[in-house]
Amino acid sequence: MKFVNKKKIMKYSCMNNRLLHNSSFLPIMFFENGNRSNRFTNVSLVFFNSFVLVVFTLGILVQTAVANQGDNHVDVQQNILKKSIKPESQDIPDDAEWRLFKGDKKPHFKWNHIGFDDKMWLRGKSGFGYGNRKSKFELSDMRGNYDHIFVRREFTVDDPDAIEKVLLTINSDGAFIAYLNGIEIIRNKLRMNEELDISGFTHELLPGTNVLSITGFNNRIGSKYFTFIPTLKFIKR
């Protein structure tokens, strides 16, 4: 008997059911030249090969789509990372947010150092005080209980060598002591509201995170009001 695949010719009887038990072959009945004959073709194998080809093609398409999605995801992640590590403004304006510790207790001895964990400190915008309109962070329990506060603020410097001047302004009703990265840079015993040039300490600035810490005092513990507003300004070369 002849097969559609002419590479092989096999002889067998139509009544031989052995071929029907072979799952890879399917009989096709037809008439040729007035004589009934049986031709078998490997239809199942053809279908199987077609199925494999379709699955293979779909697999390539899916992998390509996943790869493209992965590339897009990486691009998004890189953009997010670039935005997240972009240095913030080096200046500290008069309404900047600070961490504050009240002077009725002593803070940790490394409170003015980089890396100090200040999460348990109060957080709020400057200025600090009570009894006047300048107070954005109201210290309603300060009068008669404590006469000073501790504040700290981290800031980022991308290139310390590009800094020409550093100007610190303190608006305070009493004395203060200022620290840069844990090092005392200036102190004053009297109330003041003026700009101070601390450019002599630019060598203490680090690329990346820095911290300005200040102890601010009231002129007396029973005063009717208190104001403390620090700012920091950088001038580049």
Residue with tokens 């102890």: 215
Please tell me the pTM assigned to this model: 0.63
The domain over range 97-236 is classified in CATH as 3.40.50.261: no
Cα angle vertex 89, ends 86, 94, to 5°?
Answer: 150
Cα angle vertex 234, ends 231, 237, to 5°?
Answer: 165
Across 8-12, 24-28, 61-65, the highest mean pLDDT is recorded for 61-65
Contact 150, 101 (CB under 8 A): yes
**pLDDT value at position 134?**
87
The domain locations on the chain are 97-236
Of 90, 84, 86, residue with least CA distance to 212: 90
Q: How confident is the model at residue 75 (pLDDT cuts 50, 70, 90)?
A: very low
Q: What share of the chain in percent tops pLDDT 90? A: 59
In which element (H, E) is residue 184 found? Answer: strand 183-188
139-162 burial, b for 16+ CB within 10 Å, e for fewer?
Answer: beebbeebbbbbbbbbbebeeeee
Q: How confident is the model at residue 17 (pLDDT cuts 50, 70, 90)?
A: very low
Q: Which phi and psi (to 5°) does residue 9 adopt? A: -125, 125
Bridging pattern class, strands 97-102 and 122-125: antiparallel
Rounded (10°) CA dihedral 127, 129, 133, 134: -20
**Calpha distance 92→214 (Å, rounded):** 13
Which tens digit of pLDDT belongs to each residue from 94-144?
A: 999 999 999 999 999 999 999 999 999 999 999 999 999 889 999 999 999
Of 192, 194, 228, residue with least CA distance to 103: 228
The larger pLDDT score, comparing residue 185 to residue 26, is at 185
In which element (H, E) is residue 148 found? Answer: strand 148-157
Which tens digit of pLDDT belongs to each residue from 30-44?
A: 434 444 444 444 445
Of 182, 206, 198, residue with least CA distance to 230: 198
